[in-house]
Structure 1
Amino acid sequence: MSVLPSRQGLSGAEVLDRRESAGGEVVLRRRGGHCEVIVNGCFLMDTVDGRSERLLVRAALDELAAVARPSVLIGGLGVGFSLAHAAAEPRWARIAVAEREAAIIDWHRTGPLGAFSAGALDDPRVEVLHTDLVEYLAGPGERYDALCLDIDNGPDWTVGAENDRLYGPTGLASAAARLNSGGVLAVWSAQPSAAFEQALREAGFTGVRTEEIVVERGVPDVVHLARRA
């Protein structure tokens, strides 16, 4: 990766790399031994606590207990907690991960985030798709038994307005079309959303429920779960 000279910001965070992309500026910072990703000046994710990202994958797999060797699409790569958790589970037969930011993929392959994805990108079951998830789901392609989506901060709190499409009727229809019959949609969110639960039902999903993870800031992270009928 193209590493910038280390420098401390007013926030006490050390800038490791900064890239310009189609979606704007993407910055990797280190703070107190942890990494964090900032997009267009807004905090997006960090490596402090990956419990809810792991729950995203674990809950989807639990819902697929009757499927011997399921497949999963993870969107996006982020700091790697979801992918590493999936790769550690031998039941997954195929693991695809969609990430639109080339910088984030680079930071996993050759940079500091590789410590958190724990070599998962080298797993023969794993395919990294450098693509925009919303566009990928809307296009033609193969189906999966599970979609585990961790895009932006969730349905009610997006940094990039273009990500709003994923959580509306068109995006949910695209997600359903990419699921096998009985397949599971798992969606990470930085806060609970009753409106998104209703949107899932209106899109034809069944078994809609929400699992919460208590975090230090007070509002729990959640995973919304639903099935394609």
Structure 2
Amino acid sequence: MSLRPEASTTTLITPAAVTVDRRNGPHGEVVLRRRGEHHEIIANGCFLMDTSDGRSERLLIDVAADTLALTGRRTPSLLIGGLGVGFSLAHAAADPRWRHIAVVEREEAIVDWHLSGPLAPISAAALADPRSTIVRTDLLSHLRETDDRYDALCLDIDNGPDWTVTDDNEALYTPAGLALCARALSPGGILAVWSAQPSPAFEEALRNAGFNGVGTKEIHVARGVPDVVHLAVHPA
């Protein structure tokens, strides 16, 4: 009689999360946690992002840059909505095509974590780049008040148009909010919006707001639906 060896099982153990910093601000609670070698940001109890991957944050920038390159535009300017863990800013600063890079971040805690905290290794070189500027305000406020025009708006301030972190963020995805995005774009400029899931309703809203070339780029993840970048072009 032959003996069948017992099947071996492998259990993946997820490291426990350790709170590094917790702040209460005008928009609610923001928490930085460390899980093993990675950090993650939690806003109002909602997971935003972590440092474990970053492919979709980099794609957000690449989609905008590559689309602009097809139009022959040289040395464009970029506005990043949301500093997050810094992947988008770091990736943009590593690309010499960008003439100016502004990143809008309303949470002072997140700015502090990059300037002198655990996230500095990701963003230090980008923040030291003379092309980079931090705008410490709410994104909608900046879009209303700025006279600057950008060649690309790359927005990553929520888990997507259908899954906002705070109620006031919902205004960004309304016709009035999209009109502000269009106002801040130069003719032929690119709007790229990160989302944790596809949103046909948001695509329709972009078309209704007068944007051209509306579409999505998918980023496949280990589990669940793919992350996406919604893409739209301001009419020239």
Aligned with residue 225 of structure 1, among 216, 231, 235:
231
Q: Which residue number in structure 2 is paired with residue 5 of structure 1?
A: none
Q: Does 1:15 align with 2:19?
A: yes
Flag structure 1 segments of 5+ consecutive residues without an equivalent. 1-10
TM-score (structure 2 length as normaliser): 0.91
| Correspondences of 1:197-208 after superposition (within 5 Å) | 197-208=203-214
Deviation at 1:120, TM superposition (A): 0.7
Aligned residues: 219
Q: Which residue number in structure 2 is paired with residue 25 of structure 1?
A: 29
Deviation at 1:49, TM superposition (A): 1.2
Q: Does 1:35 align with 2:39?
A: yes
Query: What secondary structure, in the 3-state scheme, does the structure 1 residue paired with 2:187 have?
Result: strand
Deviation at 1:140, TM superposition (A): 3.7
Aligned with residue 90 of structure 1, among 86, 96, 114:
96
Cα deviations by residue, 1:9-47 (Å, 9 ceiling, x for unpaired):
xx8211111111101111100002110011112211111
| Distance across 2 between alignment mates of 1:80 and 1:140 | 23
Name the Cα RMSD after superposition: 1.0
Q: Does 1:55 align with 2:59?
A: yes
Cα deviations by residue, 1:110-131 (Å, 9 ceiling, x for unpaired):
1111122242111000010001
Aligned with residue 169 of structure 2, among 153, 163, 170:
163
| Correspondences of 1:1-229 after superposition (within 5 Å) | 12-65=16-69, 66-229=72-235
Based on CA coordinates, which of the two structures has the bigger radius of gyration?
2
Flag structure 2 segments of 5+ consecutive residues without an equivalent. 1-14
Identity %: 66
Q: Is the 8 A contact 2:30 2:109 kept in 1?
A: yes
Runs of at least 4 residues off by over 6 Å? none
Deviation at 1:220, TM superposition (A): 0.6
> What amino acid is the match of 1:83?
L
